[in-house]
Amino acid sequence: MHVITRRSGAFLGDEAYGCECGQSLADRMTAEVHAAESRLCTVCLGGKQEEIAPGLLRGCSSCAGTGRRREQIHWQLAHAEAEQVITVGLVRTVIAGFDGPFHLSEIADAVRGGLSLQVGRLPVGPRVRDVLLQLQQWGEIVMVSAPDELIDDVPTFLYNDPRWQRVRTLGR
């Protein structure tokens, strides 16, 4: 059995890892190599969870919470395919059909429907979110949602289904 965990190092900031198989691993890179050799996800190191903020864990998004390398590779290939299929131009076309604010889920559903994709075929929601954040960064849309959750002592805001609006429709 292999599950790799982080251990505090002797010096401030140092990190070491250990595996349930008894192997001591000097650093993150060594831990990732051991994880790959053991067919474990190289992000969560087989632990099935990732830390998105200090003290805040969620199922690993790289291996879909399985802790396994095979699932991680499938998920990464699906993300790469989604990047090719769900383009910025496609998302722009979809949001052009909205007069007012729109939810991430609405755009993802419209993209999925427009491409005739079955649910679970590709990571449509995460890809659409990434494109919307890119459009926001370029100043084409603005987020109009308040965070659903604030993490104390960490500058982390979580949104369940954020809303955006096209910049040119503001003020109408």
Where along the chain do its domains lie?
4-70, 86-169
Residues sharing a CB contact under 8 Å with residue 72, sequence separation 6 or more, in sequence order: 41, 42, 43, 62, 63
Q: What is the pLDDT of residue 8?
A: 65
Angle at 73 between CA 67 and CA 79, to 5 degrees: 110
pTM for this predicted structure: 0.69
pLDDT of residue 170: 47
Q: What is the Cα–Cα distance from 85 to 75, expressed in whole angstroms?
A: 15
Rg of the Cα atoms in the chain: 20
What is the end-to-end Cα distance of the chain in Å, rounded? 61
**pLDDT confidence bin for 147, thresholds 50/70/90:** confident
Q: What is the pLDDT of residue 93?
A: 97
- Fold annotation for 86-169: Arc Repressor Mutant, subunit A (1.10.10)
Q: Is the separation of the CB atoms in 15 and 45 below 8 Å?
A: no
Task: Select the more confidently predicted residue: 75 or 171.
Answer: 75
pLDDT in tens, 14-24: 678 999 998 88
